[in-house]
Amino acid sequence: MLAHDNFEPQIVVALQVLTFRHEWRSLYDLILSDSLLFKETLIRYRGGEDSALVDISPDLSALAADLSMYLHSECVEALVGSSPLAPYLWSLNSTVTGAPWISDAFRSLGELRRELRRVGKLGLPKDSDRQKLTGTASECLPKLRENMGPYLTPGVHSM
């Protein structure tokens, strides 16, 4: 991770632990896709709402006991603080091994998920809400094609 003087060490360590444990990677991927949603969900989870993580990812329906203990520990407390996680994630991704396009794809998917959640909460969306959702999808799709196109099976990225 690239160090910055204004980074909180507790946040750096908490995120590094999540990337270090391979079996916890799906949670880290979730943070990449929507760090704001992750923070909100982690607050709910730490507050006793055990199903909070499932709401945002069915892959997290059965957390390993050690991951659950870690998420409830003081080590993770800094992640729910007031500091935005995005700068930490950008810095951490510069040192995490793996395909760099994955982080970009998760960010695009996160943008689309946020808009879908917003519209979903409205009940009966107005035309302006549908237009905004369409606009967000239209912006995200080219980004996803650019990031993922070479890695998709032939024909899929031409949709």
SS3 label, residue 29:
helix
Domain boundary among the residues 97, 124, 141 is at: 97
- The pLDDT, as a whole number, for residue 159 is 44
Instruction: Based on the fold, state whether residues 11 and 86 are members of the same structural domain.
Output: yes
> How much is the pTM?
0.62
Q: How many domains does the chain have?
A: 2
Instruction: Based on the fold, state whether residues 105 and 29 are members of the same structural domain.
Output: no
Torsions phi, psi of 100, nearest 5?
-65, -25
Instruction: Based on the fold, state whether residues 58 and 71 are members of the same structural domain.
Output: yes
Domain boundary among the residues 97, 117, 137 is at: 97
Domain boundary among the residues 60, 82, 97 is at: 97
- Euclidean distance between CA atoms 151 and 56, whole angstroms: 25
- Euclidean distance between CA atoms 21 and 25, whole angstroms: 7
pLDDT tens per residue across span 13-68: 999 888 888 888 778 878 887 888 889 889 999 999 888 888 777 777 788 899 99
- pLDDT value at 157 more than 50: no
- The pLDDT, as a whole number, for residue 4 is 62
Domain that holds residue 39: 1-97
